[in-house]
């Protein structure tokens, strides 16, 4: 099938072809990467098995968690733009599941959502195949009973590298999370169906984790170059404030990849599902760390966790990153309005989009490759990290005030009673979910679908 592109400047990538690929950059620290089982330089094959694992992970009392390949978080998956990626997935869990590739703009058939894909039943397998269209920091997680499956440990980072990268820049992955634990350190019961607090705020953690641990081991930095730190918020309900301490930092990328211009910022409030990449330089005599605390609109206040990175020497300069022109906001030719609301109460709190819960919703038709304004309004007086599958957008305004934010996102924080205006070119046709990423809200109704129809083709 051939896709026709109407816009010159859209999020459509310039992938494929080109010189033979370089080896992936050095992953200095982070969840161990999965092995690529195919020696062909343009093909990447991974094996993922979801299963039950008993760990001492959180404290004295063992917890039964769910993992990909026995790892918490799941293995970091790495590929290059345009690679043919194949993931052989086996479900050894006691219940059906899928894998959704959060932020990867692939075809909807491989998006891992139950409206399209029959969930993979216990003992069964499914093969995901796609070609990542652009570089960036993404992640993967189930899209079935996600409020429980993700919290039990099913989540991992997915890094898509460009064909060429600045030389010698080490990379680290920080998967930040919070888990709700009992006093003895075991994983708390799942009470979404019976309990008002979780229905209202989501499953708020009592303990912050970085890469699945309280005190993740960090390899020392190489002395001469800067590093790229890729941070992913996989929490069920908590935005995370992430701060680089003790060095120099700038923000070089968000959900949709590199920024047009790096921002001099060492702190970011990361919505659930969101990503930020910092470029970091060491300063002699300073202790460098990524500090994680509950962010804006987070309900719980677990204590701060800092992942210390041994780095004793001053780094002299920033790396040079490839040009990444921002998509221009042009006048919209179609509009989409999404209103987030709530219904019920007590132990029957539900959440709605345009007045309907998931299941009662009607998929919303839109045209592909057309400048589109999306207005997302909260009428529930609660925060909602809004996530759109299959597309990127820019954040144009908040409560009518223009932002100067040029980054591409797939997830944005909508504050209580706030209105955000987004711009997108919807250049990836398909059937796409749009939902709140507080997984309890999503599970209790706050999801809908867009059907993005391709232009006429002949
Ligand atoms: Cu990260 Cu619809 O999900
Ligand atoms: Cu929500």
DSSP for 292-316 reads EEE-TT----PPPEEEEE---S---
Q: What is the DSSP letter of 97?
A: B
Contact 351, 385 (CB under 8 A): no
Query: What's 378's domain CATH number?
Result: 2.60.40.420
Gap from CA of 448 to ligand 1 centroid (Å): 12
Write out pLDDT tens, residues 164-195. 888 889 999 999 999 999 988 889 999 999 99
Domain presence at residue 434: yes
Average the pLDDT over 129-133 and give the result: 98
Q: Into how many domains does the chain fold?
A: 1
Q: Which residues pair with 178 in a beta bridge?
A: 208
Q: Binning pLDDT at 50, 70 and 90, where does residue 4 land? A: very low
In terms of Cα–Cα distance, which of 345, 53, 303, 307 is closest to 181? 303
Atom 1 of ligand 1: nearest residue by CA position: 102
Gap from CA of 103 to ligand 1 centroid (Å): 8
CB-count burial class (<10 Å; 0-12, 13-18, 19+) for 303: exposed
273 lines ligand 1 (CB under 6 A): yes
Please tell me the least confidently modeled range out of 79-88, 140-149, 295-304, 322-331: 295-304
pTM for this predicted structure: 0.94
CA distance 224 to 136: 24
Gap from CA of 275 to ligand 1 centroid (Å): 13
Domain presence at residue 410: yes
Residue 392 CA, chain-centre distance (Å), reads 12
Cα angle, residue 153 at apex, residues 416 and 190 outer, rounded to 5°:
65
Ligand positioned closest to the Cα atom of 299: 2
Write out pLDDT tens, residues 286-322. 999 999 999 888 887 778 889 999 998 899 899 999 9
Domain presence at residue 339: yes
Domain presence at residue 392: yes
Domain presence at residue 272: no
387 lines ligand 1 (CB under 6 A): yes
CA distance 158 to 101: 8
What mean pLDDT is reported for the chain?
A: 92
| pLDDT at res. 10 | 41
Q: Please enumerate in sequence order all residues whose Cβ is within 8 A of that of 260, keeping only pairs 6 or more positions apart, or say none.
A: 324, 325, 326, 406
Gap from CA of 199 to ligand 2 centroid (Å): 10
Q: Does residue 18 register a pLDDT over 50?
A: no
What range does the domain containing 373 cover?
A: 334-453
Domain presence at residue 204: no
Q: Does residue 457 register a pLDDT over 70?
A: no
Q: Binning pLDDT at 50, 70 and 90, where does residue 163 land? A: confident
Domain presence at residue 38: no
CA distance 82 to 219: 30
Write out pLDDT tens, residues 230-281. 999 999 999 999 999 999 999 999 999 999 999 999 999 999 999 999 999 9
Gap from CA of 254 to ligand 1 centroid (Å): 16
232 lines ligand 1 (CB under 6 A): no
Atom of ligand 1 nearest to the CA of 102: 1
Domain presence at residue 121: no
CA distance 231 to 274: 8
CA distance 448 to 220: 45
| pLDDT at res. 5 | 28
433 lines ligand 1 (CB under 6 A): yes
Helix or strand holding residue 334 (H, E): strand 334-343
In terms of Cα–Cα distance, which of 21, 154, 428 is closest to 410? 428
Q: Does residue 15 register a pLDDT over 50?
A: no
CA distance 187 to 62: 9
């Amino acid at each position: 099938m051939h896709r026709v592109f109407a816009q010159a400047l859209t999020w459509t990538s310039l992938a494929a072809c080109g010189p033979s690929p370089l080896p992936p950059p050095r992953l200095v620290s982070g969840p161990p990467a999965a092995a690529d089982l195919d020696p062909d330089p343009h093909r990447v094959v991974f094996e993922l098995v979801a299963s039950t694992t008993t760990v001492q992970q959180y404290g004295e009392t063992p917890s039964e968690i769910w993992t990909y390949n026995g790892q918490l978080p799941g293995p970091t998956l790495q590929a290059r733009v345009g690679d043919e990626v194949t993931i052989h997935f086996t479900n050894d869990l006691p219940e059906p599941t899928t894998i959704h590739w959060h932020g990867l703009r692939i075809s909807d058939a491989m998006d891992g959502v139950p409206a399209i894909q029959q969930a993979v039943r216990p003992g069964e397998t499914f093969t995901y195949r796609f070609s990542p269209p652009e570089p960036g920091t993404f992640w993967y997680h189930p899209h079935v009973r996600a409020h429980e499956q993700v919290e039990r440990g099913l989540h991992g980072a997915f890094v898509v590298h460009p064909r060429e990268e600045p030389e010698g820049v080490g990379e680290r992955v920080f998967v930040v999370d919070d888990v709700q634990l009992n006093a003895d350190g075991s994983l708390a019961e799942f009470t979404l169906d019976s309990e008002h607090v979780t229905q209202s705020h989501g499953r708020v953690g009592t303990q912050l984790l970085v890469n699945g641990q309280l005190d993740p081991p960090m390899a020392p930095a190489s002395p001469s170059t800067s590093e790229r730190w890729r941070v992913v918020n996989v929490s069920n309900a908590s935005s995370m404030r992430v701060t680089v301490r003790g060095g120099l930092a700038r923000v070089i990328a968000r959900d949709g990849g590199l920024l047009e211009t790096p921002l001099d910022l060492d702190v970011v409030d990361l919505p659930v599902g969101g990503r930020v990449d910092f470029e970091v330089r060491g300063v002699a005599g300073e202790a460098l760390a990524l500090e994680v605390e509950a962010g804006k609109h987070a309900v719980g206040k677990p204590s701060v966790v800092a992942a210390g990175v041994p780095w004793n020497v001053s780094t002299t300069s920033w790396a040079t990153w490839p040009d990444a022109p921002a998509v221009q906001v042009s006048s919209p030719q179609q509009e989409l309005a999404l209103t987030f609301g709530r219904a019920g109460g007590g132990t029957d709190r539900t959440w709605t989009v345009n007045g309907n819960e998931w299941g009662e919703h009607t998929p919303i038709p839109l045209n592909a490759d057309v400048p589109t304004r999306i207005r997302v309004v909260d009428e529930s007086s609660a925060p909602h990290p809004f996530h759109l599958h299959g597309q990127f957008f820019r954040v144009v305004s908040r409560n009518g005030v223009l932002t100067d934010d040029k980054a591409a996102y797939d997830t944005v924080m909508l504050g209580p009673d706030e209105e955000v205006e987004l711009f997108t070119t919807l250049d990836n046709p398909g059937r796409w979910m749009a939902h709140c990423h507080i997984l309890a809200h999503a599970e209790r109704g706050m999801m809908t679908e867009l059907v993005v129809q391709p232009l006429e083709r002949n």
